[in-house]
Chains A and B, each alone.
Chain A
């Protein structure tokens, strides 16, 4: 029983890491840029929901706030690409990295200015409710996180496989030049990818805030999610989720069975081991170059 509970709470954490990692990989695959503000996107999505729904602020119904936050984060992602990042088109990756790190600082500062720096709890209907399966007591929040992540994964899978837009996104990520001459508006596709990353981040943020408190530095979780994306195989969408789950699972077990303090560094130790043993990650998409 003990182990099962560790697994469930690890999976729930892992789902949040996985969703943030998914945002990293989405943007990386399509635009070859790494968005180091992805964790801060998640934090902002959580705060926007909190701002709409908490009685201290606007006090809208929870589900309406969720829809508004997801929509707003999508629009924000789209506009960020359109107004800021598109000007960097063709610049070096380093420039993009520095820009997105700066963007993370800006988002953290803005969130602090609006909602304060103290940890706050999202008034969510799934927080603090227990569900019982036989003798097993699970948090409703953890169950919902896992279920929502599974549904979102299936929807994204169908989107990329079945829809014209999803296929166009895949094409643009594999070969921009060829995509142009197949009639795919690559720049607009990039903006839509950023919108999608914003939407996924908002969902991750709402899930994250449902199982604890949130403050403007919560976005630093993005670093752990980045490690998860690398472990899973940077550039692979299923790999990102898998990496998230691995990191999520390793934490509670390290906390339970290893000396105090090791659980914090366990994901990074795993990252170092992975980079030595299998540098392309678990589900690597990098093929050996033919000579």
Chain B
């Protein structure tokens, strides 16, 4: 079944067509990767799915319903969580607190019951804490549980952000360059986690990634973009061998210089 479907989506910034008539769908339970050179429109597509931008044309469906009527803060409630290319965490809070904010959409208490700290509130707090502890165990963040984000190294922050997205317990996880800036070992960890997120947690993953090694090791399907258009879609192998993709990356075979200059 299609979990997410983009139909003929177009977005312009002034005269620049950032995304041009792109259609694709992500099946439930798969890992789907978007690849392409810088400026191809990958992040713009992410930002449209998370309702930061509204497409000029076309429609985006999630679980069979258009999400264009929803605002950005409704997106996690629908079951979509995301991470950011340039890590967006709550800097003056601990790892645990950051993950707990991820539980915001699941919190069903009201002001009065919180003021009185009723048993129902305590019970919910316990369940949120349990859910968050599972994520901490899953991502091996125990050592950092009570550390402030401000003092953590880049690689750990990257993992915390992934953890916070998982704490939302989404159906679809959007990962914006999960391996950028990570060491080889850290990238391997990310690959394992993405596998487990798909297999163990049953969460569908849509990611943007430049590391083709990571993409081909974890993705079920890949879509390549260039200049806002779809170039190729298929298994990682198929896409990597597609002449159109090779041309976009290294220029056309007969005059590589021209391709670079354009």
Within 8 Å of chain B (Cβ to Cβ): is A168?
yes
Question: A158 CA to B115 CA in the complex, in Å?
Answer: 8
The smallest C-beta distance from A15 to any residue of chain B, in angstroms, reads 24
> Does chain B have a CB within 8 A of A184?
yes
- When the two chains form their complex, are residues A182 and B88 in contact, meaning their CB atoms are under 8 A apart? no
Contact A183 B111 (CB under 8 A): no
A164-B107, A287-B150 as given contacts; A185 in contact with B92, CB under 8 Å: no
The answer to the question of A177 belonging to the interface, with a C-beta cut-off of 8 Å to chain B, is yes
Determine the chain B residues whose CB is within 8 A of the CB of A177 once the complex forms. Answer: 84, 88
User: Given contacts A174-B91, A182-B76, is CB(A167)–CB(B84) below 8 Å?
Assistant: no
Selected from B73, B76, B91, B104, the residue in CB contact (under 8 A) with A164 is B104
> When the two chains form their complex, are residues A185 and B73 in contact, meaning their CB atoms are under 8 A apart?
yes
**Alpha-carbon distance between A197 and B105 when the two chains are bound, in angstroms:** 26
Say whether A93 faces chain B, with CB atoms less than 8 Å apart. no
Contacts of B73 in A (CB 8 A): 179-181, 183-186
Identify which of A171, A175, A182, A290 contacts B105 (C-beta below 8 A).
Answer: A182
CB distance from B120 to the nearest CB of A (A): 13
| Chain B residues, CB < 8 A from A158 | 115
List residues of chain B with CB within 8 A of the CB of A290: 150-151
**Which residue of chain B has its CB nearest to the CB of A180?**
B72
Question: Which B residues, 81 to 138, have Cβ-Cβ distances below 8 Å to chain A?
Answer: 81-82, 84, 88-93, 101-102, 104-105, 107, 109, 111, 114-115, 117
Say whether A132 faces chain B, with CB atoms less than 8 Å apart.
no
Contact B91 A175 (CB under 8 A): yes
Q: Is the CB of B91 within 8 A of A182?
A: no
Residue in contact with B71 in the complex, picked from A168, A175, A179, A185, CB distance below 8 Å: A185
A181 touches B75 (CB 8 A): yes
Size bracket, chain A contacts? 20 to 34
**How many residues in B have their beta carbons less than 8 Å from beta carbons of A?**
31
Does A162 interact with chain B (Cβ within 8 Å)?
yes
Task: Say yes or no: is B242 at the interface (Cβ < 8 Å to chain A).
Answer: no
- Chain A residues near B150 (CB-CB < 8 A): 287, 290
| CB–CB A162/B104 < 8 A | no
Contact between A163 and B91, CB atoms less than 8 A apart:
no
B residues less than 8 Å from A273 (CB atoms) = none
User: Is B50 located at the chain interface by the 8 A CB criterion?
Assistant: yes
A285 adjacent to B92 (CB under 8 Å):
yes
Q: Are A184 and B114 neighbours in the complex by a CB distance under 8 Å?
A: no
Does B114 contact A164, Cβ atoms closer than 8 Å?
yes
Asked whether, in the complex, the Cβ of B84 is within 8 Å of the Cβ of A162, the reply is no
Instruction: Return chain A residues, CB-CB under 8 Å to B104.
Output: 164, 167-168, 171, 182-184
Contact with B along A172-198 (1 / 0, CB 8 A): 001101111111111000000000000
Judged by a CB distance under 8 angstroms, whether B168 is at the interface is: yes
Q: With A and B bound together, what is the CA distance between A158 and B117 in angstroms?
A: 11
Chain A residues whose C-beta falls within 8 Å of the C-beta of B71 in the assembled complex: 185
Q: Could you list some 21 contacts between A and B, CB below 8 A?
A: A162-B117, A163-B114, A164-B107, A164-B114, A165-B111, A167-B104, A168-B104, A170-B93, A171-B101, A175-B90, A178-B90, A178-B101, A180-B72, A180-B73, A181-B72, A181-B73, A181-B88, A182-B101, A182-B164, A184-B104, A185-B73
